[in-house]
Structure 1
Amino acid sequence: MIGKRIGGRTYYYFAESARVDGKPRVVGQRYLGTAEDIAAAVAGGGPEAAGARHRSFGDVSAVWGTLQRLDLVRRVDSVAGPQRARPTLGLHVALAVLHRATAPDLEFEEWWTGCLAQDLVRPRPPKGSVTTASHWRALQRLTPERIAGVETVVAEAVLELLGDDGTEALAVDVAQFAAFTAADCTLPSACQDVLAGLGLVVTRDGAIPLASRVYRRESAPTFGALAVELGERYPATDVTLVFHAGQAAQLDLGARTGFVGSLPLADHPDLLARPASVRRRVDPERFAGLTAFDTVATVDGAHRRVILTHSATLHAAQYRAFTSELSTTVRELDGLAAALEAGTHRGDRTQVHAEMSRIIRGRRVERVLNTTLTGNRAGELRLERRVDEAAVARLAEEFFGKQILVTDRDWPVAEVVTAYRARTHLESTFRWLTGPAAAGPSPRWEWTSHRIAVHTLVSVLAATVTHLMRREADRAGMNLSVAELLDQLRGIGETVLRHRSTGGRPRTRRILSDRTGRQQALFELFGLERFAPG
């Protein structure tokens, strides 16, 4: 141990010596602190921490590790071509994806300041080079040709990782993709939200996006036209079209091949009337409470495979929604009845009938409510209503929790359900990534077509990364949504302790928070040890 006198105080170092060219030399040393620091350490204490800050570790490091596995920075830079700017476009795109996946509600610069990403990115960007303004300027270099090129090279990376599991794809339409709004509505034109839908080609295994096509809702293509365009994006891949019941009428299912979708329940009353005993459990581990009946029915003039499914979870949710709707309707009818009895409603019989129709019309409660209007003249009219509980039970038994899926694929029922639910998972992911509305950075931000295209690319790449992670977690036995997965990872935090300066640079110590069993499993699954403090 050697001591160095600095500013009137002595600081001690542990020195390692060895012979170099036959002469003793100090070949290594480690700072120990002042005599007081050493005494405190010997007594079991240590230098007092001058401050501490907590930051998210698990989600940032897991997403960044996945970006590294996809080699995203190099692949984007290969599309961009020679660049003099630093950081490169590839790094800006990677940081945009990391930001969108881990902190979509924070301004970019606010997120970057103090974020774990600063310790992960190597080589470090030049000081002051990563700001909101510089970041968006860099992303503006994403021309339509570069956007298409980036999607292509990232899709190639995904397919390389998946191997044979990536040979089949799904074409889906996420109609509720995003609503874009100005950050500062100083002009009336800037305050008009832009509603956007998104067509996607995704892997059948994991619903990982491979290609996208954003469109404005006011000029949306027909679903049939969008389906053709999406199918042409990957002509060498077996693409299955996924649609919901509202889109079924736009497709000729009698002639089409390669599809999984749902049909309006009312179109097949014979299926709805089948007893629950004909249904079988699908996959208790993946789909708790889901049963199905696999049969054949006539659809658009052709015999097609149809699957009647019943979800206990969906049944409970629909029953709660129905009872809430019924309560609202009954309350309004009782209010009308009270007004008639009190004489405060002076309308004639025709007007009261119109008011009753307004309250009930278009609701499922029509099937379970019996109403009687007596009297002929204003002031004498009386309204009575009754809920038919037997009709409620029939409605619940006939409709609640049920879907009718149709397909020409010979996949197991569980795989048909998984393919159909890909759109739901993607909608959930994009709600997480974009929030209720996507606002640009201040000052006032105009959402041009190009800026929407750039925002879409970043969102799709974030969905690509997080769905790839979700697929890996699912294969490890953890069936989580993207939001649930990132929430678990975010629970793995890092505390940075800053110790008081003893004459040199203030020392810091990084420690990770305690982890639950699931968090530890994710820690190991994504190899986060390599990012952990030493």
Structure 2
Amino acid sequence: MASLQRRKVKDYYYWYIVESRRINGKPRPVTIAYLGSVEKILDMVQNGIIVKNVKSFSHGAVYALWNIAAKNNILDILKLSFPQQKRDGLDRATSILLAAIYRAIYPGSKNEFAEWVKKTTLPSIVKFDPEKISSQHFWDQMDGITDEMLSKAEDAISKTILEKYNISPEKLALDYTNYFTYIDTDNKKSTLAKHGHNKQKRNDLRQFSLALITTKEFTIPLCSYVYEGNINDITIFPEYLEQLKQRVSKYSDINNITVIFDKGSVSKKNLIILDNPDYKINYICGFPMGSCKDLYEIPLNEYINISIKGREILCYRLNKKIWGKDRECVLTYSMDLMIGQYNGLIKSISKKIEKLMKLKNQLQNENSRISRKPIDVDTKIKKILSGDYGEDIIQVIKDGIRKITDIHFEINEEAINAIRDKYFGKKLLITTQKDWPTEDIVEAYLDQYNIENIFKDTKNVHHFSIRPQYHWTDQKVRVHTFCCLLGLLLTSVLNKELSDMGIKLENKKLIDTLVEIRQSYLMSSNKKKKWGVDVKKIIEDMDEEEEKIWSCLEQVFEG
């Protein structure tokens, strides 16, 4: 509760609005706002009732995330999972939760935390002095937390959330991504950070990777696994599958779950592992049609039309022996996918034509030093035409026998149309769920795109972002990633609470709206008070959307 306090400075008295907060385990007054001398205050009140907005803080987002964590006993779970330790008046669990809330709202560096948090009501809610919370504070609190502790905490939180909100883990989407870092190449302390194919096109930087599963409903992130940045999806799949089996079984019957993943994880070895009766994990996955080219021959007029969430999709269901085992298969056809692939092909052809034209000009130029030997020219042409059906679509004719002096080329439009009609727009799904209707199989696979939204959130520079991360050791990178995902999970759970009350917003839009809900310290004259002045905390005027959300939050947290 806020109150007035008088302080003496060089024989003069000045007034402050203060609030009691616990510092190093003891209550201490923390200054909220400076009011000035008694003469200044009297000047404001001498003419009757006055009202003055002394100071304003961002309130909605920190209030909502802290309270959704409290409602789900997150602090208690963290305290049970991590070694007990206090720094600057805060226990380790509270520091980790503060870091998670910080990353969800404003993913800055730990050095920026104090400056950011002073502009919010979080110090008032949690009762701490922001000036004491430095980057060193967080490093100390993160230190000593092992992979096993992080998994224990994450699994306990997952179990709590799934049970409390009756969220089914029966359909789990699996995917992977990576995050570039600024860890120096000569830094030998990090074994996670490796050079590899970076999805943000920063192949010049070292990266680490993340495997994750999410629930179908509200895309709650579960069972995260941080691993080396140079390991591809196919290679990490068996290792992560073992993690998934052990950890998910703590809060769900592994026999009842179905894992959905794309063809990037598919190999003969991985399917043999999944087909092992000891695993007992059902799955739906994309499968490379290049291994079943005969399926391209099935004409579209034999596909049937099904409806998924109001969307019409052409499908063809069959049982086929693939890699030595009979498998339940569903072929799908998407016009949008076909158009995208067709446009990609046209773009690829244009690039090939540009390269052929460049080669033609070089051959025609007598001053060009390019080799005109047939074998060398053939090699260049073959390289240009390789990939994307180039040799089927573009016909090249050479002038000369022992010395190639020119080339001519033309595009076979009929070949383009034939390739489009036969190959484009088609996907192959395989599954162990033979008794499921085709609609359920296709819908479960299509819902996998939701995990891509999670990964987009973790790369959103405004909220939730895992990058940039300012840690240089594997242990700190893993704890940092845990904090970021915890902030995202809390937002997703908050979103579910509001969705159940009729408010539908994306996570990032929800945070943006909550940040604008502000709390003010309002000073007014009150003759009943000792000094004739009263200080209250109020919520500032809100727009219609903010009022609706705030009203729902009051019901969620205050009943």
TM bucket, shorter chain? 0.7 to 0.9
Match of 1:397 in 2: 421
Deviation at 1:404, TM superposition (A): 1.1
Q: Structure 2 vs 1, CA of residues 451 and 245 (structure 1 numbering), >3 Å: closer, same or farther?
A: same
Match of 1:102 in 2: 105
Answer whether contact 1:194 1:216 (CA < 8 A) is retained: no
Answer whether contact 1:108 1:131 (CA < 8 A) is retained: yes
- Is it true that 1:357 corresponds to 2:371 in the alignment? no
- Is it true that 1:309 corresponds to 2:332 in the alignment? yes
1:98-137: CA deviations, max 9, x gaps? 2222323x22343553456534762321342322221222
- From 251, 268, 275, the counterpart of 2:300: 275
Instruction: Give runs of aligned pairs for residues 450-529 of structure 1, distance below 5 A.
Output: 450-469=475-494, 484-487=506-509, 489-491=511-513, 493-494=516-517, 511=540, 514=543, 527=553
1:454-482: CA deviations, max 9, x gaps? 123223323433444566677788887xx
Q: Which amino acid aligns with 2:424?
A: F
Q: How many residues align?
A: 480
Instruction: Give runs of aligned pairs for residues 37-56 of structure 1, distance below 5 A.
Output: none
Answer whether contact 2:285 2:430 (CA < 8 A) is retained: yes
Match of 1:327 in 2: 350
Q: Which amino acid aligns with 1:283?
A: I
Q: Which amino acid aligns with 1:231?
A: K
Q: Which amino acid aligns with 1:7?
A: E
Q: Structure 2 vs 1, CA of residues 213 and 488 (structure 1 numbering), >3 Å: closer, same or farther?
A: closer
Q: Secondary structure at the match of 2:320?
A: strand
- From 240, 255, 277, the counterpart of 1:226: 240
Q: Structure 2 vs 1, CA of residues 459 and 365 (structure 1 numbering), >3 Å: closer, same or farther?
A: farther
- Is it true that 1:429 corresponds to 2:451 in the alignment? no
Deviation at 1:77, TM superposition (A): 1.7
Q: Secondary structure at the match of 1:113?
A: helix
Match of 2:30 in 1: none
Distance in 1 between residues matched to 2:182 and 2:128, nearest whole Å: 31
Q: Secondary structure at the match of 1:351?
A: helix
Deviation at 1:499, TM superposition (A): 9.5
Answer whether contact 1:332 1:359 (CA < 8 A) is retained: yes
- Is it true that 1:237 corresponds to 2:253 in the alignment? yes
Q: Structure 2 vs 1, CA of residues 362 and 58 (structure 1 numbering), >3 Å: closer, same or farther?
A: farther
Match of 1:7 in 2: 39
Match of 1:156 in 2: 159
- From 319, 333, 352, the counterpart of 1:296: 319
Q: Which amino acid aligns with 2:509?
A: D
- Any stretches of 5+ residues in structure 2 without a counterpart? 1-36, 195-204, 526-530
Match of 2:150 in 1: 147
Q: Which amino acid aligns with 2:553?
A: G
1:382-421: CA deviations, max 9, x gaps? 2222222232233333333332111112344454345435
Deviation at 1:261, TM superposition (A): 0.6
Distance in 2 between residues matched to 1:428 and 1:34, nearest whole Å: 58
- Any stretches of 5+ residues in structure 1 without a counterpart? 13-32, 39-45
Answer whether contact 2:327 2:432 (CA < 8 A) is retained: yes
Q: Which amino acid aligns with 2:512?
A: R
Distance in 2 between residues matched to 1:60 and 1:291, nearest whole Å: 46
- Is it true that 1:266 corresponds to 2:266 in the alignment? no
Q: Structure 2 vs 1, CA of residues 97 and 333 (structure 1 numbering), >3 Å: closer, same or farther?
A: same
Deviation at 1:275, TM superposition (A): 0.7
Match of 1:336 in 2: 359
Q: Structure 2 vs 1, CA of residues 302 and 168 (structure 1 numbering), >3 Å: closer, same or farther?
A: same
Q: Which amino acid aligns with 1:73?
A: L
Q: Structure 2 vs 1, CA of residues 119 and 462 (structure 1 numbering), >3 Å: closer, same or farther?
A: closer
Deviation at 1:485, TM superposition (A): 3.1
- From 129, 134, 141, the counterpart of 2:137: 134
Deviation at 1:334, TM superposition (A): 1.7
Q: Structure 2 vs 1, CA of residues 454 and 123 (structure 1 numbering), >3 Å: closer, same or farther?
A: closer
Q: Which amino acid aligns with 1:399?
A: Y
1:167-221: CA deviations, max 9, x gaps? 52537341x2333333xx5956589654333344543544423323322144675
Distance in 1 between residues matched to 2:323 and 2:502, nearest whole Å: 40
1:9-61: CA deviations, max 9, x gaps? 8557xxxxxxxxxxxxxxxxxxxx453986xxxxxxx97x89x9895x66555
Answer whether contact 1:337 1:383 (CA < 8 A) is retained: yes
Answer whether contact 2:397 2:408 (CA < 8 A) is retained: yes
Answer whether contact 1:263 1:406 (CA < 8 A) is retained: yes
Distance in 2 between residues matched to 1:528 and 1:110, nearest whole Å: 30
Distance in 2 between residues matched to 1:398 and 1:477, nearest whole Å: 45
Distance in 2 between residues matched to 1:291 and 1:470, nearest whole Å: 33
Match of 1:71 in 2: 73
Q: Which amino acid aligns with 2:258?
A: T
Match of 1:168 in 2: 170
Q: Secondary structure at the match of 1:122?
A: helix
Q: Structure 2 vs 1, CA of residues 110 and 521 (structure 1 numbering), >3 Å: closer, same or farther?
A: same
Answer whether contact 1:58 1:490 (CA < 8 A) is retained: no
Match of 1:93 in 2: 96
Distance in 2 between residues matched to 1:464 and 1:9, nearest whole Å: 46
Q: Secondary structure at the match of 1:324?
A: helix
Distance in 2 between residues matched to 1:395 and 1:152, nearest whole Å: 48
Q: Structure 2 vs 1, CA of residues 179 and 499 (structure 1 numbering), >3 Å: closer, same or farther?
A: same
Q: Secondary structure at the match of 1:147?
A: helix
Q: Structure 1 stretch 390-399 or stretch 449-458: which is displaced more?
A: 390-399
Answer whether contact 1:118 1:124 (CA < 8 A) is retained: no
Q: Which amino acid aligns with 1:280?
A: N
Answer whether contact 1:254 1:301 (CA < 8 A) is retained: no
Answer whether contact 1:169 1:237 (CA < 8 A) is retained: no
The RMSD of aligned alpha carbons is 4.2
Q: Secondary structure at the match of 1:304?
A: strand
Q: Structure 2 vs 1, CA of residues 373 and 512 (structure 1 numbering), >3 Å: closer, same or farther?
A: farther
Answer whether contact 1:374 1:381 (CA < 8 A) is retained: yes
Q: Structure 2 vs 1, CA of residues 362 and 139 (structure 1 numbering), >3 Å: closer, same or farther?
A: same
